[in-house]
Amino acid sequence: MSTSYTISICPFAQRHYLKNFARKYKAAWSITWRAICEEFSRFDSLLDTSIAEIIIENGDLKIAKTEFRIAGTKESRKSSGNRAIVAICHNLVSVLLIYHKSDLGDGNETAKWKNMIKDNYPEYRNMF
């Protein structure tokens, strides 16, 4: 039996790219967001796929990167460029960052999102 997780959206994630998805995709984003929350509520199962991977693990706290696609589009999760960075601790999945690769600008995607996490989430700064 897998754990049922509670989903939390961090204010930084809400203020930044999450609003862009909602504006750009309107009703499709609403469907997509419900699907993402459903997947995150069963995060253990998500880790059994190629959709999510643990990036850092420190005791009960894990940082993971996931991929998603917008409902109604023909793109695959991987080719869509849509990503979410989440912190998993006990039975809580906290969405730290949700973005499209182009949101981060040029350069190394991983380095960019790690720096955003370090700069905006002091509680996770020492994990990187």
85 domain-assigned: yes
Specify the DSSP class assigned to residue 105. -
pLDDT, mean over the chain: 91
Give me the CATH number covering residue 52. Answer: 3.30.2310.20
128 domain-assigned: no
pLDDT at position 1 is 55
65 domain-assigned: yes
Parallel, antiparallel, or unpaired: how do β-strands 6-9 and 92-100 relate?
parallel
Total structural domains in the chain?
Answer: 1
Domain, as residue range, for 113: 6-121
H-assigned helices in 26-101: 27-41, 43-47, 77-80
Spatial distance between the Cα atoms of 117 and 89, rounded to a whole number of angstroms: 16
> What digits encode the pLDDT tens for the residues 27-77?
999 999 999 999 999 999 988 888 899 999 999 999 999 999 999 988 888
pLDDT surpassing 80 at residue 104: yes
Could you tell me if 22 and 28 are in contact, meaning their C-beta atoms sit under 8 angstroms apart?
no
pLDDT at position 74 is 86
126 domain-assigned: no
Spatial distance between the Cα atoms of 106 and 1, rounded to a whole number of angstroms: 42
62 domain-assigned: yes
113 domain-assigned: yes
127 domain-assigned: no
pLDDT at position 4 is 92
pLDDT at position 82 is 94
1 domain-assigned: no
